[in-house]
Chains A and B, each alone.
Chain A
Amino acid sequence: NAGVMQNPRHLVRRRGQEARLRCSPMKGHSHVYWYRQLPEEGLKFMVYLQKENIIDESGMPKERFSAEFPKEGPSILRIQQVVRGDSAAYFCASSPFDNTEAFFGQGTRLTVV
């Protein structure tokens, strides 16, 4: 059973471009979470999704950011018109259901130049 797979591991984008980050949860996990980590900081919650549904997006910026978890395929975190402040490590986690441990991927490190 492969762990949570995120790709790409590193992503460089110029200001104004779009960034697409992918996350394949562990097999059998229907809950996906996205977190952002700035250097020397903890992880900040962005969004919680179940298959085809956004459950909680209270940590997601209102503009330029969107997330989906389709019936088939990985979860996607999409950042439009990236700015330098979007540079961070983005982590995805999955769990089989509520109130259990979450398994994290290795993260995607986004650099906006």
Chain B
Amino acid sequence: SQQGEEDPQALSIQEGENATMNCSYKTSINNLQWYRQNSGRGLVHLILIRSNEREKHSGRLRVTLDTSKKSSSLLITASRAADTASYFCATEGNSKLTFGKGITLSVRP
């Protein structure tokens, strides 16, 4: 069964705006990770947040984790056209990653 569920399924914003993507999950986790995938390519790891962490930053990325609500959010600030891609959250538990179906982000120049 799918563990991570991303929301929204698709997001279209103007360059320079912020993009917020959400992920909910069902069972307990060791960590939650966000990945990016450009069309027809492999996945690129963006950021990992452990279950005992609440917030993490990496460049223009900010991720939060609320284990009581079993949810996470990924914020991309000052978006660029090059951020256009699919974004996946993945929960890690029992030594395997379980992915959601992804969010398609389009950043209009």
Contact = CB atoms under 8 A, between A and B. Distances in A.
Interface stretch (A11-19, A64-72, A74-82, A101-109): A101-109
A100 interface: yes
A56 B96 contact: yes
Contact of A100 (B35, B48, B88, B98): B48
Contacts of B100: 42
Given A91-B42, A103-B45, A106-B42, A42 B101 contact: yes
A106 B101 contact: no
Question: Which of A33, A45, A101, A103 counts the most chain B CB atoms within 10 A?
Answer: A101
A105 B41 CA distance: 9
B95 A42 contact: no
Interface residues of B, number: 25
Nearest to B44: A104
B61 interface: no
Interface in B54-109: 88, 90, 92, 94-102
Contacts of B41: 106-107
A35 to B, nearest CB: 8
B27 interface: no
The majority secondary structure among interface residues of chain B is strand
Given A42-B100, A42-B101, A42-B102, A104 B92 contact: no
Contacts of A63: none
B96 A43 contact: no
A102 B45 contact: yes
Contacts of A100: 48
Nearest to A99: B30
B2 A42 contact: yes
A31 B97 CA distance: 12
Contact of A45 (B30, B88, B98, B102): B98
A34 B44 CA distance: 15
B97 A33 contact: yes
Nearest to A41: B101
A99 B90 CA distance: 12
Interface of A: 31, 33, 35, 41-45, 48, 55-56, 91, 93, 98-107
